[in-house]
Structure 1
Amino acid sequence: MEKPKKRKNKLLLIVLITILVLFIAALLGYGFVLSKLNRLTRTEPSSISSSNDISYDQFDHEDAAANEEMQAATEGLDEREATLSTGDVFTDSDVVNILLIGTDERTEQFSTNARGDACLLLSLNKVTGKIHLISFERGMGVPILDGQYEGQYDWLTHTFRYGGAELMMKEIRECFKVDVSHYIRVNFNTFIDGINAIGGVDICLTQAEVDYISRQYDKGLQDVSVGLNHLNGETALCYARCRKIDSDWKRIGRQRTVIQAAVDQVKNLNVLELNSMLDTVLPLIQTNLTNEEILSLALIAPKFWGTDFIQATIPLADTYGSMRGMGGRSMFSVDFETNAKALQEMLYDGIEQE
């Protein structure tokens, strides 16, 4: 029979070995996660005034076409000046806001000479467990808050060219008084490769959308039909950019539809598929989030698992008119005060403000 002291020593040894194994496993797991996160393209905070020094008259034919669309979209709206928002920026540690920026390059490399073709705010409310996905209409006129054109008005999409993600975040922060200092940037190439990496997305198409996609000649487009379709990256991008059959406001809704469908698809991936997807997508994403901040978000992810996005578009209906900005461009003139209050109520629901 073993003596009590020997049994205690053996038990202690087993406990120590178990702890050591768990510690090593944790280190290996942490190292694995970091190896993935280090694939991201990182940016350091920079001075907005040192960003790309581009003249407003250097925009290409796509902007000329967009201006014609904006003239049609603003026709019939009351001409008015923008109403700037007042008060302090809402901020709370229980609400995490990340700006999602889609720029218009079709290359793996990110360019400073790009437009913010899509601008959405992803907001996580830790208290309520709600996720908001808010789109900002790219043609609304915003006051340029820094740089050589400070004080003038231009489309929100152009602010990325004038000052990159830093200026775009500042525009959202100051115009709508909501705290946002982190962003995630993708471009057309990321979008296509990302959708293909998760195996495509399920999207319901209308007859008008089918007809539009069928008329395009982009490489990789699928044959589609009315109803539910499983779209590859090329076809999903074509769908998400579609606005000529109705309006840019409808295009914004399609962007959110694809994002929700992509999230739903990722939920169904197994470990090997998820690993492969991360290897493909992470190098194609630019962000100023640190590894520590991403890991912190990962720890609260279970609270939001299975939650669908609460979606909205800013500016809200009946809160904007028309105006002319830089270069004589037509743009939406926004009541920022009304929209700021509405956005704050959405994102900070359940949060007590001092």
Structure 2
Amino acid sequence: MKKRNILILIVAVLVLAGVAVGIPLAKKWNQPLGESLQLPTLTPMEASSLTPEISPTGTQAMTEEDQPLAATSAPTEQPTDTPIPTATVEPLCGGPATMTVLALGVDSGGDADYLYGLADVINLVRIDFVTPKVTVMSLPRDLWVQIPGLAEHGVTEGKLNQSYFYGTRGMGYYDGPGGAPGLMARTMQENFGVNIDHYGTVNMVTFVKIVDAVGGVDVYLPYDVDGRPVDDKTEDMGYFYSGFNHMTGEAALRFSRIRKTDNVFARTNRQKTVICALKDKVLQPAVLPRIPEMIAAFQDSIVTDLSLAQMTQMACLLPKLSGENIIFGGIPEEELTQSRQWDARGGYETFVWDIDNQKVRDYIAQFQAGTFPVASEGAGCPPPVNSGQ
């Protein structure tokens, strides 16, 4: 089936799915499904001066801006040839040039209503509708940050994943735009200078539903992955053998959550494996009839301020992405140091990843400029798994 026919079929199925779940598309198509973030858009100079721990200083970017002004009087000859205008490349699928989405995986146990929960997976996703390219930057949940707007509740700082927890409806501390993901987005902007356009939050219950809705995912493991308990406090995540594995939603969740047997960086790579496998499964023509089921699950179970129109733009972009243009990365492991931090509100010492705040800001600035992480071996999605079945 040609890609064009696949895209037409995707759009048609999405429309039918909207009708099936009772969405008045004419009125709701462009409306956010949740409360918008309403965050200010920072310029690069503003972003560089918002770090709570670091006083604003002159930056190299400011110096470079001054240099061309000083050099403008040097040339004595002007070019006589008429410049050839460059063609403007329109974004694909009716989307914007770029979009940055805060994508969160929430550990809320069996709570399907997002009443409480910690942000277990924290990803910034940059969607480039021009190239096209999708870049995913993973952030450690144990970064220590300043948490804004909650001083009256005795909260001024904490782990990055706690900024989501303190914003939940169950805690009742934060009534600002976007709720829990909104507080995390605000925290990330004030600490790291990141401009976030939208958010999407999925809990464990919903993740299982999504994977099961497409019929599970297929992954290839080059070696065994042992998720069995290492002590009486560790949850049993199972044992996954090397070779081809078909995973249900529940198995994919367990595989994605294994952490105690190695480290958080290996865990991030496993999550990448599942995301790439899910992308491959969604693109299979046999999955298209199941899209209404997926839309129903998204509508009822995902917390997001994306509109149905924007979700359709993303679905349209997927078939246009090669594996190497879906790039995963994060703060390099060697930049992070294991440390301990006193949590004044909780009254205990806790594990944190220690790193110079300015380094985090620099990596995020490169991410937003589309230059980090770089496309390298192992950074993109591998070719789709073919188990021969």
- Aligned Cα root-mean-square deviation (Å): 3.9
**Range 124-133 or range 97-106, more displaced:** 124-133
The separation in 2 between residues aligned to 1:168 and 1:177, in whole angstroms, is: 13
- The equivalent position to 1:338 in structure 2, one of 359, 370, 375, is 359
The separation in 2 between residues aligned to 1:343 and 1:37, in whole angstroms, is: 40
- The equivalent position to 2:114 in structure 1, one of 106, 111, 130, is 111
- 1:43-68 deviation line (CA, Å, top 9, x unaligned): 324899xxxxxxxxxxxxxxxxxxxx
Aligned to 1:159: 163
What amino acid maps onto 2:97 in structure 1? D
- 1:6-38 deviation line (CA, Å, top 9, x unaligned): xxxxxxxxxxxxxxxxxxxxx988853643694
2:216 equivalent to 1:190: no
Question: How far is 1:155 from its partner?
Answer: 1.1
- The equivalent position to 2:146 in structure 1, one of 143, 148, 173, is 143
Stretches (4+) displaced over 4 A: 27-31, 36-41, 45-48, 82-88, 215-218, 221-224, 295-303, 305-308
Aligned to 2:34: 43
Question: How far is 1:298 from its partner?
Answer: 5.0
Q: Does the aligned pair in 2 maintain the 1:186–1:285 contact within 8 Å? A: yes
2:295 equivalent to 1:278: yes
The separation in 2 between residues aligned to 1:38 and 1:346, in whole angstroms, is: 36
Aligned to 2:81: none
The separation in 2 between residues aligned to 1:289 and 1:277, in whole angstroms, is: 16
Aligned to 2:330: 313
Q: Which has the larger radius of gyration?
A: 1
TM-score by length of 2: 0.62
Question: How far is 1:282 from its partner?
Answer: 3.9
SS in 2 for 1:212: coil
Aligned to 2:185: 169
What amino acid maps onto 1:32 in structure 2? L
The separation in 2 between residues aligned to 1:209 and 1:28, in whole angstroms, is: 40
Q: Does the aligned pair in 2 maintain the 1:169–1:181 contact within 8 Å? A: no
Number of positions where the alignment pairs a residue of Structure 1 with one of Structure 2 = 288
The separation in 2 between residues aligned to 1:280 and 1:248, in whole angstroms, is: 29
Identify if the C-alpha distance between structure 1 residues 265 and 187 changes in structure 2 by more than 3 Å, giving closer, same or farther. same
What amino acid maps onto 2:138 in structure 1? S
SS in 2 for 1:329: strand
The separation in 2 between residues aligned to 1:241 and 1:42, in whole angstroms, is: 28
The separation in 2 between residues aligned to 1:125 and 1:47, in whole angstroms, is: 22
Question: How far is 1:171 from its partner?
Answer: 2.0
- The equivalent position to 2:195 in structure 1, one of 179, 194, 211, is 179
- 1:108-162 deviation line (CA, Å, top 9, x unaligned): 6322321111111111123432211111111111111221367733111111111
Greater RCO (Cα-Cα under 8 Å, separation 6 or more): 1
TM-score by length of 1: 0.68
Aligned to 2:250: 234
SS in 2 for 1:99: strand
Aligned to 2:123: 120
Percent identity, aligned pairs only?
24
Decide which structure has greater helix share: 1
Identify if the C-alpha distance between structure 1 residues 210 and 104 changes in structure 2 by more than 3 Å, giving closer, same or farther. same
Q: Does the aligned pair in 1 maintain the 2:99–2:126 contact within 8 Å? A: yes
What amino acid maps onto 2:293 in structure 1? S
Aligned to 1:289: 306
